[in-house]
Structure 1
């Protein structure tokens, strides 16, 4: 299984001005944008870390999932949430020939923790030997920063500030996720009960 981000979070969706205020960076020196690229980098890193810990996409964007086989042809649990839409499902054979499934052949079962791709009837189509399935989907909680739950937005801000504060520290103690961040994101983390991750 390989999940790839097709579109990245645009800079306009990141809270640069609030982040600068949070860091209490000085203003009025004529070089107010000098650190912008660095600050965007810390925001992106913090966003990725929170998404990785929670299994949730925060800002809505496009992803592509490639599977060598279905874990369950009656219900494929998707590895990211919340999924807003499944835009395409294609089966590719070993020679590279691709068949795009009709959208009526499947449906998205929405769930904040374990969204699933469900066949409209019977089972999802078999994957040819040496082939794969490619699922294109749109996932995320909000279209912009203002639409995020306040606790997740605060967690990203705190973590980005932590990265900024310890940017020159190579020791483990400074680079670990702060307790305040972990407590804010705890309720969004998915509980894994399958031991082997088969569901």
Structure 2
């Protein structure tokens, strides 16, 4: 399985001005925009980190999921939440010849924890030996920053500010995340069951 992000978070969707206000950066100066590129990079890093911790895609964008076989030919689990639309399902044979499935052959179950691509009737088409299937989808809570729940938006600003404040500190561990951020995102984390225990 390979998941590829086809479109990045649009720069216009990132809360640059609210982030500047959060950092209490001065305004009205001729060089006020010099740090914009750096601030945007911290916002992108914070969004990526929050998405990784919660299992939720914040800003809507396009993804491709490539598989060599169905995990379940009746209902293929999708690794993103929330998936809003399936753009296409393409069967690829061993000679790399592609065939796009008709939309009436499948449907999306847009579950808030475990979305699935399901066959409309029976099972999904068999993946050819040596072939693959490519599922193109749109996932995300909304197209713009205003579509996010307030606590997730605040968590991104707080984490980006943390990255900004400690940008020269190389001693922080890779998994470091401030407690205030983890408490804001806790209710969005996906609960996984393993051998009867919650993780």
RMSD: 1.3
CA distance in 1, matches of 2:174, 2:112: 32
User: Partners in 2 of 1:17 and 1:144 — Cα distance?
Assistant: 14
Distance 2:169 2:49 in 1: 18
The residue correspondences of 1:63-142 to structure 2 (distance < 5 A) are 63-142=63-142
Any residues of structure 2 matched to 1:137-152 within 5 Å, and which? 137-152=137-152
Aligned-residue offset at 1:80: 0.3
Q: CA deviation at 1:38?
A: 0.1
Give the direction of change, closer, same or farther, for the CA distance of 1:174–1:56 in structure 2 (3 Å limit).
closer
**Aligned length in residues:** 195
Aligned-pair CA distance for 1:152? 0.5
Q: Distance in 2 between matches of 1:111 and 1:75?
A: 12
CA distance in structure 2 between the partners assigned to 1:56 and 1:187 by the alignment: 11
* TM-score, normalised relative to structure 1: 0.94
How has the CA–CA distance of structure 1 residues 92 and 183 changed in structure 2, closer, same or farther, with 3 Å as cutoff?
same
Unaligned runs of 5+ in 2: none
The aligned residue for residue 5 of structure 2 is 5
Structure 1 contact 166–175 (Cα < 8 Å) conserved: no
Q: CA deviation at 1:53?
A: 1.0
Deviation above 2 Å: which 4+ runs of structure 1? Answer: 172-175
Gaps of 5+ in 1: none
* Cα distance per residue 1:115-161 (max 9 Å; x no partner): 11010011111111111110000010011001100011011100000
> How far off its partner does 1:173 sit?
5.4
Range with greater deviation from structure 2 (171-180 or 14-23): 171-180
Shift in CA distance, 26/170, structure 1 to aligned 2, threshold 3 Å: same
Give, in whole Å, the separation in 2 of the partners of 1:174 and 1:48. 14
3-state secondary structure, aligned to 1:172: coil
Alpha-carbon separation, structure 2, partners of 1:131 and 1:169:
47
Q: CA deviation at 1:174?
A: 9.0
Aligned partners of 1:51 and 1:140: how far apart in 2? 10
Match of 2:170? 170
